[in-house]
Structure 1
């Protein structure tokens, strides 16, 4: 490498002197700059974390969700057997009863105790014996301001289920079942049977 002449050397020394500060900057100023840079770096890290979490949440919300298993359908209990078509089966306590057939309603009269209750008569099920199970169920099929349609249905105990509830007082004559319309009968016509227009109460 060729040696530098005195003029070039002097120019270099002068340049280096100009670029080198005569005294170091005060420590407080340096500390302030360092803190500011550290704070900015921390803020950037927090912002990046927020963006990352939001991105994960967005992706998670767009993923197809596993379907929750449907709740098992329960066999209805006798307390809800007053409106609509008869269920194919229902439980009375722990005993399962199965729908057999529709049976004839022989008579209907208003209850003397309540204007919204009907006393429905039908033939007793002799084959059922003297059990307290509800082998006969009366349903409100429809009602409006002018008419009420009811029907009676016969149930039997499902196979392999013992009847453990017994009535100790033998009963005779027609079976009487109270049916609450939940609004006053108020002179409406009562039709019996799931089809036809057989009037049982005017």
Structure 2
């Protein structure tokens, strides 16, 4: 077993008990996680990492969201879907599908990225002139991002930046400091696109 996979599995198994207790006290409104891949090692790891990461994301970004750990879902076999895709956000279902049979140690990153797509599409960030300007020249790290089938490149950059902010903020801040500032304002002030844009345009570094 890969050492990175093993260490994250052990940590996840320990943390799942803590996470479950947190959820029993303060659940995200309507958030639901369903593991359809069973109780195998990979599926259990993916489930634990998603649960753990969900406690670190602002609740309104996940409200009434359903997450399926379902490697055999038809959404991964639809026309145009890439064979390398590990997660998909399905707007009409308000659901995220995640494969546990493809690098389950990154399930938390896949989950956050798909939540990023949800935020972009449901909270009006596709209308953000401020983020559109950032996406035109997002820095070398984000510039390499290619949009999956059916998605806009700007949405893909937003989702990747959203994921990095929550999982590797130092990387985002180093390679795309202005995008990091935008995501920081979003995470701290909520999903009001107009308000986030205004805060960003008038932002003064401390």
Fold shared, TM-score > 0.5 on shorter chain: no
Higher Rg? 1
TM-score scaled by structure 1? 0.21
Instruction: Give the strand-richer structure, 1 or 2.
Output: 1
Instruction: Give the helix-richer structure, 1 or 2.
Output: 2
